[in-house]
Structure 1
């Protein structure tokens, strides 16, 4: 690999702190030559950094996966055109809907991609984090330090990168951080990295993606509709599980009590500043590597760690929930009807009078 100035490894001349101070994602403009800033814990390259034609290139495997994607894309297209498959399922006739048949094919192709990856040992992938400009510099610096010398250094995670600033950056642009691990199909290691990343850095990913998907051009805008990222509820359930086996007995006994007090406890935690609500949204990716530069999932504050974002955030995700999408610290922007901040003042009206006027007896003039 050629010498790339925006990449750090343990053998670099600069210290990690100096490197992070010198190259901040908001300060480096991508002119087509520097799309990423890299921090490597190990001298190991992710799959999606391969250059076509290299001796160790995975070209044959990529070609095989591309052909598989093409074949299944055609199969999905044929399902849409097949008039014998109804739009709505008919249980009486035993007919499945187009959606059900299509989803079955998508599960099948995902399993095929997994098989190809495991057979060829090309299982590298990454967790994807999306953050706004006001948080990206600090978030990437924190993640990098944890990766090199902190809690993440004890996990399989080996590399991180962050997108630099596009030359035509928009007002609400979101930056992408990728945290790499060697086997995205190893549920135990993926869950470990997820748990440690959330609790040690205070930021949370919104999805995971294999490098194979990136190399074959499978993204959220692919015409086949095949899912290009992976993040199931099972991962979060395991990541949120108690890490210590010794705590399992007491945890099982207190589960019922915790459910009863969950809402009250969350409120108390928020008041103490220990946790902050998770603001989530679902975002698309773009094409090729830059497809992942969608909008942010959001920040999660880790227990006993300071939260990156100030209390008054400038932007909020698309969530109308009163507990996740709104903040008591922020006034509503131009509400259609808003409650007055101060006490109501009487409005002069011919048919109305104040309470004082009603209760106050009329003066009787004495002659």
Structure 2
């Protein structure tokens, strides 16, 4: 519970600081929050950040690259040879292509759909036996999970807006990706290399937006992922909760810069994992041990939004690094992530 208290206090601090800036200039939009400006959308790393007016459509594409490096046990780094496992990950990269669609049947309700195509690679090191010190690599690639849901706007006044979100994630991504071990055995890949969760998941969110004046804006979001039941492999991923707060400044009519802080906490694997790569030997692979899942992380991100005022076309990017991470390890820590995206509304 201490980890939840830590990021909850961080989120409350961010919100309090932003609310303290209550001075406001007239922005000429009848005291309504206005999306037709460079900072009218959150940093591209934030999902479900905005709603649309009745009859509007939006298509989005995001490319995210995440790099993981270094083994953590708690908030300390450890070397591969000190983990007690025969095989440990030393580096991982994930490339994700995300395709999204939004449609608003009314001013207060926006429907959403999203799917993604994932490509993973993981470098592994053998730490025991005659092959100690040698490297191996595994890969997985394919379509991930798909989500369908909606956003309900319940407040829009005084240049502020708030909405609730709820989506259902469908288990369209594979959970039975395999690889050939150095000993020639076909085994399931570790949890991080699977393409989906294998479960139906609820994705709730609460988002608050504010435009104090023409120059800058800020927002905050609380979201989660709740796994319903267990997958065909007999387990479920740990539930996750996250809080983000960001501020953006318009440096031109067509460009804005943003800064974001985010905190997240997620749990260990739950259930029967006899089909994992660790089934025959619990000390085989640290990445396939369900106890080495879950943790807490605080990230910082900087972003750029470019907007074409007449066409409704946006291009955006955000780069993020961890400020702090405490992981149930030994587990790979996050090194950095980069998100590039485009959004087109009509």
If the TM-score is normalised by the length of the shorter chain, which range does it land in? under 0.3
Q: TM-score, structure 1 length as denominator?
A: 0.25
- Higher relative CO (CA 8 A, sep ≥ 6), structure 1 or 2? 2
Instruction: Point out the structure with the larger helix share.
Output: 1
Instruction: Point out the structure with the larger strand share.
Output: 2
Bigger Rg, which one: 1
